[in-house]
Amino acid sequence: MYQEIDLDKININSEPPAEEPARQYYFMAKCRKWVQDFEQKNGRFPKACVVNMGCQMNARDSEKLRGILGTIGYQETDSEEADFVIYNTCTVRENANNKVYGRLGALSSYKKKNPGMMVALCGCMMQEPEVVEKLKTSYRFVNLVFGTHNIFKFAELLASAYESDKMIVDIWKDTEQIVEELPNERKYFFKSGVNIMFGCNNFCSYCIVPYVRGRERSRKPEDIIHEIEGLAKDGVVEVMLLGQNVNSYGKNLKEPVTFAELLQRIERIDGIERIRFMTSHPKDLSDELIEVMRHSKKICKHLHLPLQSGSTKVLGEMNRHYTKEQYLLLVDKLRAAVPDIALTTDIIVGYPGETEEDFLETMDVVQKVEYDSAFTFIYSKRTGTPAAKREDQVPEDVVKDRFERLLKEVQEIGAKKSLQYEGTIQEILVEEVNHQDSHLVTGRLSNNSVVHVPGDKSLIGKLIRVRLTECKGFYYLGEVIEE
Ligand code: SAH
Ligand code: SF4
Ligand code: F3S
């Protein structure tokens, strides 16, 4: 594992090695020399702030950035008034995109106060050529820009940024490469995201992710198992397997493996108590997977199953490859196999051409499935996607009205669903001390619901039994039965 690589033993005056990850460790050693010089000059170590703006996949990437910065010797801070600030961006919807430009304005004023400050941008938004053009013309103070495919090169890019007074831009269009064994700094010691695949091949007609994350690539099962065994030894009890469409995991490997087979192998790892995964595409959710979920002791009783729309017509136009009826059938099968499974979803309102009838089909699915919770999104036009070219965009006021009706329905159903476990005894994994009340700790049920119970930080990372005394809508208050 990477912890065993001693940066002091690397000769930074020699040529950098060609192979990975050795090459990146060479550059980490080089960057560390820079950090040591900074400390000599300033009497303190430089501070770094990593800001994550995207999904769980981006959050995991941010942990890798933090791991490298920590290895180099930076001290981590939450404040953007730091010596190094990096935004790991998202571009799935327009507002994610706009946020970045707003925040860059503030960074430029910090940089005026601290001219040695370095600003870097990476992540999905950087894969869009017009974004990079805009940065080059209007945000010249940015030091380093890279994308999703070469994030493993962070140390190497940082080393070049130290030596240059110009903006360094390195964006790859795509990659086949997966670099293993780089450092990462987990946010929680007891749970961790684990990438099982990268990219997406589905090209849903509204979605920019396949363009910015590239083609689907699965990690080898041995590498995933090796990583999770390491995590378990390190105290991790819960893993979240990450991919844009985990149900198509392993199809393109030289020796194909199914997602269901991978789950069974992970189930056998000692120390791992809970297994979660996201996201599941309904079109690829197999009967084999449902069977594995039925028999598993560790797979959590929660499935995030994005619907997007309840209208078969809209689903066809979205290129989702399932109908309303197929989706409902899948939900029936899942509930028959795992009766107490919590279902959550993503829904887009106002896809081009969506009629009132189409929207009512979505409402109908929401009422039939009774989701425990749902993320609802207003359709956002993403340049480069097929849906953006359509002329029948739905007027804003119509979309707003539908969105509010949907949100109300989703919330009412969610509140009703939560009530069903009031009074029962359940197991939670304690995650943190409550932010509002330090006499409470906050944990999650297997079905992902949040529970607050009296306790202190010694409980963090433990699985404890609690009674759910009161349901407060979207969370429970409880009491500890057994630690
Ligand atoms: N791979 C996952 C989703 C990744 S993006 C899946 O297929 O389920 C997360 C969510 O963002 C999507 O499920 C979708 O509901 C939403 N989304 C994606 N593109 C969008 C767009 N152009 N406008 C609004 N919401 C969008
Ligand atoms: Fe986007 Fe569809 Fe891929 Fe999900 S499956 S990331 S919604 S293209
Ligand atoms: Fe956003 Fe990229 Fe995730 S666009 S949703 S951060 S894959």
Mean pLDDT score of the chain: 95
3-state secondary structure of 33: helix
Whole-number pLDDT of residue 469: 97
Which segments of 254-395 does DSSP mark as H helices, in order? 259-267, 287-295, 312-317, 324-337, 356-369
Among the residue ranges 108-117, 177-186, 276-285, 393-402, the one predicted with the least confidence is: 177-186
Q: Long-range CB contacts (< 8 A, 24+ apart) of 440-446?
A: 445/421, 446/274, 446/300, 446/301, 446/302
- Give the per-residue pLDDT at 2: 46
Cite the DSSP H helix spans in 356-480. Answer: 356-369, 396-419
pLDDT band at 158 (very low <50, low <70, confident <90, very high): very high
> Of 276, 182, 170, 260, which Cα lies nearest the Cα of 221?
260
**pLDDT (mean) for 256-281:** 97
Q: What confidence tens digit (pLDDT) does each residue in 91-132 have?
A: 999 988 889 999 999 999 999 999 999 999 999 999 999 999
Q: Starting from the CA of residue 375, give the closest ligand.
A: 1
For residue 1, pLDDT beyond 70? no
Q: Which atom of ligand 1 is nearest to the CA of 375?
A: 15
Query: Is the CB of 379 inside a 6 Å radius of any atom of ligand 1?
Result: yes
97 close to ligand 1 (CB < 6 Angstrom)? no
pLDDT, tens only, 326-340? 999 999 999 999 999
> What ligand is nearest to the CA atom of residue 200?
2
Tell me the average pLDDT across 243-260: 96
Task: Quote the pLDDT of residue 28.
Answer: 97
In this structure, the residue with its CA closest to atom 3 of ligand 3 is 55
pLDDT tens digits for range 30-81: 999 999 999 999 999 999 999 999 999 999 999 999 999 999 999 999 999 9
Contact 150, 30 (CB under 8 A): no
Per-residue pLDDT at 155: 97
Phi/psi at 217 (nearest 5 deg)? Answer: -135, 125
Share of the chain above pLDDT 70, in %: 99
What is the structure's pLDDT at 465?
97
Quickly state the pLDDT bin for 482 (edges 50, 70, 90): confident
Atom of ligand 1 at shortest range from CA of 378: 24
245 lines ligand 2 (CB under 6 A): yes
| 428-462 per-residue burial string, b: 16 or more CB within 10 A, e: under 16 | bbbbebeeeeeebbbbbbbbbbebbbebeeebbbe
Q: Please tell me if the CB atom of residue 210 comes closer than 6 angstroms to any atom of ligand 2.
A: yes
| Residue 203, phi then psi, degrees to nearest 5 | 45, 55
pLDDT at 87 over 60: yes
Question: For 449-471, how does the pLDDT look when each residue is reduced to its tens digit (9 = 90+)?
Answer: 999 999 999 999 999 999 999 99
pLDDT band of 3, cuts 50, 70, 90: low
Q: What are phi and psi of 48, to 5 degrees?
A: -125, 140
From 207, 211, 320, 394, mutation site for ligand 1 pocket: most ligand atoms within 8 A of C-beta: 207
Cβ atoms of residues 219 and 178 within 8 Å: yes
- Say if CB 362 and CB 310 are below 8 A apart: yes
Which residues face 299 on adjacent strands?
A: 275
Residue 399: pLDDT over 70: yes
Best probe residue, ligand 3, of 51, 56, 58, 208 (max atoms within 8 Å of C-beta):
58
Which pLDDT tens digit goes with each residue over 181-237? Answer: 888 888 899 999 999 999 999 999 999 999 999 999 999 999 999 999 999 999 999
**In this structure, are residues 441 and 433 in contact, taking their beta carbons and an 8 Å threshold?**
yes
Please tell me the distance from the alpha carbon of residue 464 to that of residue 427, in angstroms, as a whole number: 5
pLDDT at 362: 98
CA 226 to ligand 2 centroid distance, Å: 28
Using alpha carbons, select from 244, 321, 249, 318 the residue that is nearest to residue 282. Answer: 321
Q: Is 244 near ligand 1, meaning CB less than 6 Å away?
A: yes
> What is the end-to-end Cα distance of the chain in Å, rounded?
33
Tell me the C-alpha to C-alpha distance, in Å, between residue 223 and each of 188, 220, 256, 260: 21, 5, 14, 17
- Cα of 443 vs centre of ligand 2, distance in Å, is 30
Report the nearest atom of ligand 3 relative to the CA of 58: 6
| Nearest CA owner, ligand 2 atom 2 | 204
pTM of the full structure: 0.94
Say how far apart CA 399 and CA 172 lie, in whole Å.
36
How close is the Cα of 455 to the center of ligand 1, in Å?
37
Q: Which amino acid, one-letter code, is at 220? A: K
The minimum-distance atom of ligand 1 relative to the CA of 346 is: 15
Q: Pick the atom of ligand 1 nearest to 204's CA.
A: 7
CA neighbor of 203 nearest in space, from 52, 382, 471: 382
Above 80 in pLDDT, residue 273? yes
What residues are paired with 471 via a beta bridge?
Answer: 476
**Protein residue closest via CA to atom 13 of ligand 1:** 346
- CB of 244 closer than 6 A to ligand 2? yes
Atom 5 of ligand 1 has which residue's CA nearest to it? Answer: 92
| Atom from ligand 3 closest to the CA of residue 53 | 6
